[in-house]
A and B are shown apart, each in its own frame.
Chain A
Amino acid sequence: MTANPASRWTLRILGLGYILLLLLIPLGFIFYKTFEHGIAPPLDAITSPDGLHALKLTLLTVAIAVPLNTVFGIGCALLLVRHRFRGNFLIDAAINLPFAISPIVIGLSLFLLYGTTGWFEPALAEAGIKILFSVPGMVLACIFVSLPFVVRETVPVLQEIGTEQEQAASTLGANAWQTFWRVTLPAIRWGVAYGVVLTTARVLGEFGAVSVVSGSISGQTQTLPLFVEKQYENFNLPGAFGASVLLALLALMTLLAMNLLKRKEDA
């Protein structure tokens, strides 16, 4: 549609004005607000013992959840695309669940499963394992919410590359393992990487599910997003903004990585 200049400008003003108000002003505002009084206050907040602990714990959840979901994601995508099976549609549907379910509902589900009245309580208590209000529960929440990304980004790429090269490799005597490492994985690597970026971003920023299962104890079970909330509640705005800017920078890096990977994938 070649819109006439008047309607073209109307659409531009509407669309770009909306973006400006909804996304760009808030993004600029956070940097302005954080560094309003120099770099020292936010820096102090992040380098406080609780801030550093929150940062470390956030990175720990990423270090556990992302590799697990990546391995699962690639394996699951291979099964869904390369192995026809009657029950595949059920697996397919179940994978989409974390996209649609409220993080609070996810948190509550884990809370009920591992809590004092939960199904696993007797066995866990006997073994002396604590899941709720400690790191394992938080990691489980992060794994839950970020589970679909790698599968969903890998499936279309696998479908697109087809099977000819894999067939050629196996004709030439490669076993399944060799075919995977030398042919399939290199062909799908940018799609997988894209999924990994989305998974990482989701785990870094997860708030609702983690807030239900963690108890948010400063210096113990607080990730950066929980730290932001706590600092705000304690009227420590520089602290809240310091941690927020760190998370916003990570978000911008995510956007950058997404754009670069998209270009690689298209190339």
Chain B
Amino acid sequence: MEAGTLTSSRAPRAGGLRLPGVGAGVGRGMVVLYLSLIVLLPLAALTSQGLSDGLGHFWQQVTQPQALKSLKLTLVASLVVVIVNGFFGTILAWLLVRDEFPGKSVVNAVIDLPFALPTIVASLILIELWGNKSPFGVHIAGTPAAVVVALMFVTLPFIVRAVQPLLMEMDREMEEAAASLGAGGFTVFRRIIFPNLLPGLGAGIALAYARALGEYGSVLLFAGGLANTTVSSVFIKQQIESGNETGAAAVSVVLLFCSLLCLAIVSLIQRWAVRHDRSSSELIPTPAAEGSGHGDGA
């Protein structure tokens, strides 16, 4: 999943457990070999297939109406989703760190549900809950709204877990000073809290965006592959099934490029945060990022 700690691994100091020179070399070789065989080689095969008939053909595949439509839907729906979840995720992080209410530890645990629940199961639940047989009478299955709801479900934890640790470690004296100087609740949030949360929120949003761009399982049953609900991943699967591997690979290359861009943004934010004296580990948008304070104990 998706989910993950994207901390950079900077060695703080040398020493400690060290393999002898030869051992380290062999170990590094094995790590690189494993990574290459499992991850890099398949991605190279994909890129080479996507570009196999030249750039012109690649461009033609990407810009054919259906492909373009799916890419547009994917990019826009994902954007809507990260904005909505950025809003609610920040509220939830605030509630988990600064508020006390019964059942808080349950809420804190259940936030990670989308990390743990298989996406196809999420899709099945969503279509039964908001489809034709909806017990609430809300029918959105098979519409673009379904794409948005499915993506909201899978990306929520990224934002909460990215903002929560920053909120936990924030110096409350600044807020108290601002309040004592007459700033109201919203002014304190806007001028003090929000700027401090920005790196975590940014990293969380970038990761959530990457996740949303590539999401497949949760949208499959719920939104389906209809004319106006086909996201790029579903489009790619359709192309594979109809034997157009080059077309599938071309759109995949575009998605891959967007994913890399998101990762690069996360990494830039982390560098910025490190320079500004925030440890990079605070930007870990994973379930692990609850940190030492642990929501309900803080």
Residues of A within 8 A of B (CB): 1-4, 7-8, 11-12, 14-16, 18-19, 22-27, 29-30, 33, 72, 75-85, 87-89, 91-106, 108-113, 115, 117-119, 140, 143-145, 147-149, 152-153, 155-156, 159, 162-164, 166-167, 170, 176, 179-180, 183-184, 194, 198, 201-202, 204-208, 211-212, 224-226, 228-229, 232, 240-241, 244, 247-248, 251-252, 254-256, 258-259, 262-263, 266
Contacts and interface: CB of A to CB of B under 8 A. Distances in A.
Interface in B120-144: 120-122, 124-126, 128-129, 135
A104 B237 contact: yes
Contacts of A24: 110
Contact of B116 (A16, A19, A110, A251): A251
B63 interface: no
B137 to A, nearest CB: 14
Q: Looking at A108, A170, A179, which has the most chain B CB atoms within 10 Å of its CB? A: A108
- Chain A interface SS verdict (over half): helix
B35 A244 contact: no
B94 A101 contact: no
B60 to A, nearest CB: 19
18 contacts: A1-B188, A3-B98, A22-B152, A23-B114, A77-B9, A96-B4, A96-B263, A99-B263, A102-B214, A102-B259, A105-B236, A112-B42, A155-B9, A162-B13, A198-B1, A205-B116, A225-B121, A255-B116
Given A144-B39, A229-B221, A82 B17 contact: yes
Contact of A4 (B14, B113, B185, B234): B185
Given A103-B217, A156-B5, 18 more contacts: A7-B185, A12-B95, A14-B91, A18-B91, A19-B107, A23-B113, A23-B156, A26-B153, A83-B28, A88-B9, A91-B32, A103-B233, A110-B42, A112-B45, A115-B245, A163-B16, A248-B117, A255-B116
B30 interface: yes
A99 B120 contact: no
B237 to A, nearest CB: 6
A166 B17 contact: yes
B236 A108 contact: yes
Given A79-B28, A99-B2, A208 B7 contact: no
B171 interface: no
A105 B256 contact: yes
A251 B45 contact: no
Contacts of A106: 42
Q: Which 7 A-B pairs have the closest CB atoms?
A: A102-B214, A163-B16, A205-B118, A109-B42, A208-B216, A80-B9, A152-B5
A198 B157 CA distance: 14
B66 interface: no
Contacts, number: 342
Given A211-B237, A229-B220, A184 B17 contact: yes
A21 to B, nearest CB: 9
A3 B232 CA distance: 43
B252 A108 contact: yes
A80 B24 CA distance: 11
A19 B262 CA distance: 26
Interface in B173-198: 175, 179, 185-186, 188-189, 192-193
Contacts of A11: 91, 94-95, 99
B254 to A, nearest CB: 10
A140 B153 contact: no
Given A7-B185, A15-B91, A82-B17, A99 B6 contact: yes
B11 A144 contact: no
Contacts of B263: 93, 96-97, 99-100
B248 A244 contact: no
A19 B92 contact: yes
Given A101-B259, A156-B5, A201-B116, A109 B88 contact: no
Contacts of B145: none
